[in-house]
């Protein structure tokens, strides 16, 4: 499966070798802890909400359900569009595709930036269990996703599904948010087959 994100290119290098894919305004010098919450019943304009440690919304989606066939818009807390993605596009900021398409539990996806000839990032792990890493140039972990076990009456009633994302210093949070969103959509699409 191929998923693409598009926005006018702003990729630039910060103090590290890791490029700011969406923009340097989404990069911080410290490690950042995010929580991704997927809600079945949602009252704030989105199924997918990404918050910081203090519970402040950083990113959200327009749609109640993510479909890579359709255009999905990732927005910031003020509802401004950050980037959008769909299964295939002509004006790609980056392209994500399955490296081996063999095992849906332990997979590797490659991310190729628009200006690069070879994949720059990989996404590796167990997507069904929300336990995976985003890796830069095969060696440097830039973000790690782990399942947050949250069994409460509220979670069961409102369908909340939470997991954590640790974003390392100088890594573009909007890019990571897009990858996490796309991986969730791919996993959901694979479960519907």
Per-domain boundaries in the chain: 24-192
Strand partners, 144: 133, 166
Indicate whether 30 pLDDT > 80. Answer: yes
pLDDT recorded at residue 41: 46
Q: Which residues contact 118 (CB under 8 A, 6 or more apart)?
A: 112
pLDDT recorded at residue 63: 62
Name the DSSP letter for residue 25.
G
pLDDT recorded at residue 148: 65
Q: What does the alpha-carbon distance between residue 124 and residue 133 come to, in Å, rounded to a whole number?
A: 5
pLDDT recorded at residue 8: 52
Indicate whether 119 pLDDT > 70. Answer: yes
pLDDT recorded at residue 145: 94
152-190 pLDDT, tens digit each:
444 443 445 678 999 999 999 999 999 998 888 777 655
Task: Find, among 127, 139, 113, the residue nearest to 183 by Cα.
Answer: 127
Name the DSSP letter for residue 27.
-
pLDDT recorded at residue 87: 73
Q: Tally the C-alpha atoms within 13 A of residue 167's C-alpha that lie toward its C-beta.
A: 27
50 or 115: which leads in pLDDT:
50
CATH number assigned to the domain covering 24-192: 2.40.160.200
Name the helix (H) or strand (E) containing 144.
strand 140-147
pLDDT recorded at residue 140: 92
Mean pLDDT value of segment 51-76: 79
Q: What does the alpha-carbon distance between residue 157 and residue 184 come to, in Å, rounded to a whole number?
A: 21
- pLDDT-based confidence at residue 95 (cuts at 50, 70, 90): confident
Mean pLDDT value of segment 34-38: 84
Name the helix (H) or strand (E) containing 186.
helix 173-192
Return the structure tokens found at 110: 């490659």
- pTM as predicted: 0.81
Which of 7-16, 52-61, 176-185 has the lowest average pLDDT? 7-16
State whether the Cα torsion 175-180-181-185 is positive or negative.
Answer: positive
Enumerate long-range contacts of 85-88, CB under 8 Å, 24 or more apart: 85/3, 85/4, 85/5, 85/6, 85/178, 85/181, 85/182, 86/3, 86/4, 87/1, 87/2, 87/3, 87/4, 88/2, 88/4
Q: For the chain, what is the mean pLDDT? A: 76
Cβ atoms 67, 188 nearer than 8 A: no
Name the helix (H) or strand (E) containing 85.
strand 81-86
26 or 162: which leads in pLDDT:
26
């Amino acid at each position: 499966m191929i998923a693409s994100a598009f926005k006018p290119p702003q990729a630039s290098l910060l103090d590290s070798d890791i490029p700011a894919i969406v923009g340097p305004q989404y990069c911080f010098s410290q490690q950042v802890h995010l929580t991704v919450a997927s809600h079945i019943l949602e009252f704030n304009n989105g199924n997918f909400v990404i918050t910081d440690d203090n519970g402040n919304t950083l990113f959200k989606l327009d749609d109640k359900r993510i479909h890579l066939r359709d255009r999905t818009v990732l927005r910031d807390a003020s509802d401004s569009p950050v980037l959008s993605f769909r299964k295939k596009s002509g004006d790609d900021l980056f392209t994500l595709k399955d490296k081996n398409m063999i095992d849906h539990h332990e997979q590797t996806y490659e991310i190729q930036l628009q200006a690069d000839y070879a994949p720059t990032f990989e996404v590796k792990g167990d997507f069904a269990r929300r336990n995976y890493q985003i890796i830069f140039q095969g060696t440097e972990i830039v973000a790690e996703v782990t399942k947050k076990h949250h069994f409460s009456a509220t979670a069961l009633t409102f369908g909340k599904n939470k997991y954590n994302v640790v974003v390392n210093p100088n890594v573009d949070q909007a890019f990571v948010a897009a990858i996490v969103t796309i991986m969730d959509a791919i996993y959901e699409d694979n479960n519907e087959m």
